[in-house]
Structure 1
């Protein structure tokens, strides 16, 4: 009798389904003895009787809360290495609220902890097989390398009921979502696309609004399990973070706008605590932290944003987002989301580090550029920004042996010029802009690239002279970048509130105008002086200066403390520029430059204040210590 292979496979599958299950799912999973009761003695002893089930199937069976689609566990790389413990709720981040029945018990959703190939955890997993596999899976906890708190320990909400009450108190209302998410979507997101999957987020947003309208999120006595899980609360924290950013860019008057943005941010942080963000990070939680940090920057709190970004990066590395290898067995759409999210983290860290000239935390070695990137044309605004931020990391990196700062600067300029030539037409030339968004993207990209160029050229602006032939190139490009940044800002703010509400753009234009004012090659340039005055006019109206020369409250709504100091210094410098130029000529052979002592007004009165490096002077203005660390000896 001839039997086809398909028929044989069909019979084998049927026979396989007929096999009776004698152990519950947790005992089968761990390969331990089960007494067949419900709940069994083993599950009771291990304190998870609620997941003792005899209906759940393994990986090949139907989807269940423990084996939902997209959940990948204990995956080994093709090379045989097990540098990853894939025990994370991948599906939870892919589409958080949409799966109504996908409620995963907290005890069953252990957090994924990334471990490199040379760690003891990875080596034991690699060698584990059969009965030892369960031991290898738990080795992270045994070695103290895995979090064990199932809820955030630093808050009062302990029981599920308390947690639900706390959640209901911070939920975004329908009117808040409809009003402020629009501002985020249209104004903030296009120029800083932190959300890794906007389409899916908007779909989940509709799910939330429907649940809110149906009354699922109103009764404090009835917990809606679908919305009480860590993953759903993490998604709510992300929604609140977008509302915080959106309200910052809204058309509301400043005092109310600041209050709203701060309130949304506070509620988002509280949702993060309810979701146990520090112990159970997820993709939604990482995105929420990034948006909150960026909002803090835009409020002028860049030091706090810097500290928060460090925590965010470490949590992302805990999940393994920093390397492609750790995501090799994730579903493709989740891998794409993870890659986009890590690129966004690089974006945030690079720009903030360039502004402060501080060492970055991130690395791009784990996610190499696609080979097609260097060959592609028609690159978008986001594509080019990701590349420029990689160049920024190179600028901040250690100098290579035998390579001068000037040589590195020329190399960076070549990289930037090469990628700009491959941009979409409207990014390459403003004459090709046909829509408002085209104009805004063109100007935003010009500001960012000009800032990066100016940083790359700063060796030529320092006191130590750069030797030809590089000196002429670097100094010429430096001057052009400072002028281009100021022009782009002035054109940009005429079309949108984005540059006036974005900390990085405020920093770019003020640093550019300050350098134009202080650098000997541009100090007396008529075009540069005109740009400086126009920038000052944008930030301060004619009646905004107080009697003591400080900035009014109207100006402070835009600027951080460092930016206010920079603007006051720039205004004072312009007022005294005429007298100072004559004094500097007479004092060319005078004493050495006087070091900056923190007193801007007295320092500006000194005849040789501008004889120091303009970059050094800029740093002295923008990076005055916020704290007096000399007073750390006493208790009070």
Structure 2
């Protein structure tokens, strides 16, 4: 029986197609199983999906078959990098694979232009591009743990059960997210895309209602991904902040905020935050740090913010160049997020007089913002916090200290004049929110002015003063008065100033300086402001005691230790002033903490305002607010 040549060619062609490689290049190289998808599951598990490539020499039919197979399996894939939650931005579905998205950022590790990794990447040709991408792992510059190693849940089933144990319930979301959205967010807009977050929040509530997040024995793959768990940690972080600003009694409020924060931290570990940071994870960390700070734990918040900034820099959020290949909507989100991180670092640095660690050079300013004269509250605050970093880096200003201060004041004044009318003058405020924004900006800007003018406050009136020094001292006095007045007006309208650590710090430090500064301590107006501020905190303490059943030993517990110390000093000083002006049996008595609990260890005359120690008011303030919290003399002892 003869066989035609055409039939022979057909059979050989089929055999040749069968011998074509069915595995990707990394799997063939390692001689391991490959499922033929791109990226395959093996490459995904080994955390190098970006090098999962197939030979381009394969026939078009084979490539089409693999593509169809990949499309069929994509919906059921268990990889965290292949599954997206519902409600995502439509732009993501049309983004080419060559452009990094939110998820792809998890595989990206930022390196400077002069690093070996960047040099190899820039010089890589098509033939060795995969090698250039792998060089980070080869040099030990990239994390390899796909699961957070410092926790018990290891298997996917254990991880799922652990996640379900911390999920926010529907009632918790509906109650406490409202407080975050209305009270906390407008004055500290950490979420970079509120609209997108609220859309994802609706997706979560729908999934919770349908039972997708209830069965411990059945893993819902869409919600078990790193991205989804990171989003849940962000949701819990917003609930922690919302609980802190809620109208619940203090003991329960503290317990709820702490519980939400604990659950958020647990979700962060499940999302492997330290080894695989994402934009949601960075936002969750910033909100948690700010909530810890508002609870009075500012030292922990300071250290925590440092870790957050380093993780953000790992993703390249601090520089525009590293995001050039990302979709435009992601780039806008990244820019807002980094500006928010700058905001947090700037305020803490100004309060503590500590060096900042964020950088501003990586992102160029929007030219339209530089020309506009109707900046919103958030926009003015972003510029003001940038100026705050400049204040903490005096080397960028002129040569002399007075010149630096004058130039900084000019920049603050110019920025203030570029805000919307209601931000500049309260008479222009119409809505309730406009009144709150005006007062919040007045507090922050007054604090910045007082910090700029503090060098001039260190000089005594007995010394000959230059014209510029006199100007700075006059601006300092005005800023301290403005900050105290704005706080009093603000707290009459909202709980925000009494629950925000930075605002509490501003008013107590300003009032205390008014009390001890030689130019203001005998001023009747300043003394009246001091008394009113103390009355606010005293009434707040009394209210907490009445509603929450707190004893006297817990009064003021919601303040930080440094702020309690400042309040105690201020009360003691006013007590002494009253003692000098009223009969002995009519001394001022106000609710508060016993000054003796913090007075020990200070030299004689420390609280004597009539005859203060020979020290500047700024040094006096620093000695009160910055008493060491740790006894480093005990470091040599083991037990």
Q: How high is the TM-score relative to the length of structure 2?
A: 0.82
Q: Distance in 2 between matches of 1:466 and 1:261?
A: 53
Q: Distance in 1 between matches of 2:328 and 2:212?
A: 32
1:381-400, aligned counterparts within 5 Å? 381-399=377-395
SS at match of 1:358: coil
Q: Post-superposition shift, 1:130?
A: 2.5
SS at match of 2:371: coil
Q: Is the 8 A contact 2:422 2:428 kept in 1?
A: yes
Q: Is the 8 A contact 2:27 2:42 kept in 1?
A: no
**Among 520, 525, 528, the residue aligned to 2:526:** 528
Q: Post-superposition shift, 1:377?
A: 1.3
2:122 counterpart of 1:126: yes
SS at match of 1:457: helix
Superposed CA deviations along residues 320-376 of structure 1, whole A, max 9, x for unmatched, are 000111111110000000000000000000001100000000011111222222210
**Aligned position for 2:563:** 563
**Aligned position for 2:620:** 617
Tell which deviates more after alignment, 561-570 or 603-612. 603-612
SS at match of 2:456: helix
Change (3 A) 1:238 1:22: farther
Q: Distance in 1 between matches of 2:87 and 2:41?
A: 32
Q: Is the 8 A contact 1:31 1:131 kept in 2?
A: no
Change (3 A) 1:208 1:400: closer
Q: Give the aligned length.
A: 576
Q: Distance in 2 between matches of 1:93 and 1:383?
A: 31
Q: Post-superposition shift, 1:459?
A: 1.1
Q: Distance in 2 between matches of 1:62 and 1:432?
A: 64
**Aligned position for 2:284:** 288
**Aligned position for 1:496:** 494
**Among 134, 137, 144, the residue aligned to 1:138:** 134
Q: Post-superposition shift, 1:541?
A: 3.3
Change (3 A) 1:517 1:95: farther
Q: Distance in 1 between matches of 2:44 and 2:296?
A: 48
**Aligned position for 1:4:** none
Q: Is the 8 A contact 1:235 1:285 kept in 2?
A: yes
Q: Post-superposition shift, 1:36?
A: 12
Superposed CA deviations along residues 551-599 of structure 1, whole A, max 9, x for unmatched, are 9456424311111110000011112236789xxxxxxxxxxxxxx9942
Change (3 A) 1:479 1:219: same
**Aligned position for 2:369:** 373
Q: Distance in 2 between matches of 1:20 and 1:475?
A: 86
Q: Is the 8 A contact 1:244 1:264 kept in 2?
A: yes
2:338 counterpart of 1:342: yes
Change (3 A) 1:606 1:207: closer
1:56-75, aligned counterparts within 5 Å? none
Superposed CA deviations along residues 111-165 of structure 1, whole A, max 9, x for unmatched, are 2110000000011111211321111110000000000000111000111000000
Q: Distance in 2 between matches of 1:242 and 1:601?
A: 46
1:162-311, aligned counterparts within 5 Å? 162-311=158-307
**Aligned position for 2:588:** none
Q: Distance in 2 between matches of 1:251 and 1:531?
A: 27
Q: Distance in 1 between matches of 2:69 and 2:417?
A: 51
Q: Post-superposition shift, 1:432?
A: 0.9
**Among 626, 629, 634, the residue aligned to 1:626:** 629
Q: Distance in 1 between matches of 2:31 and 2:558?
A: 67
Superposed CA deviations along residues 372-408 of structure 1, whole A, max 9, x for unmatched, are 2221011000000001101110111143586111111
Backbone CA RMSD of aligned residues: 3.8
Q: Is the 8 A contact 1:406 1:466 kept in 2?
A: no
Tell which deviates more after alignment, 387-396 or 364-373. 364-373
**Among 513, 517, 520, the residue aligned to 1:519:** 517
Unmatched 5+ residue regions in structure 1?
1-18, 69-87, 582-595
Superposed CA deviations along residues 268-317 of structure 1, whole A, max 9, x for unmatched, are 00000000000000000000000000000110000000010000000000
Q: Post-superposition shift, 1:536?
A: 0.1
2:638 counterpart of 1:635: yes
Change (3 A) 1:435 1:458: same
Q: Distance in 1 between matches of 2:579 and 2:459?
A: 23
1:61-100, aligned counterparts within 5 Å? none
Q: Is the 8 A contact 2:443 2:506 kept in 1?
A: yes
1:430-469, aligned counterparts within 5 Å? 430-463=426-459, 467-469=465-467
Q: Distance in 1 between matches of 2:614 and 2:629?
A: 26
**Aligned position for 2:538:** 540
Q: Distance in 2 between matches of 1:633 and 1:570?
A: 36
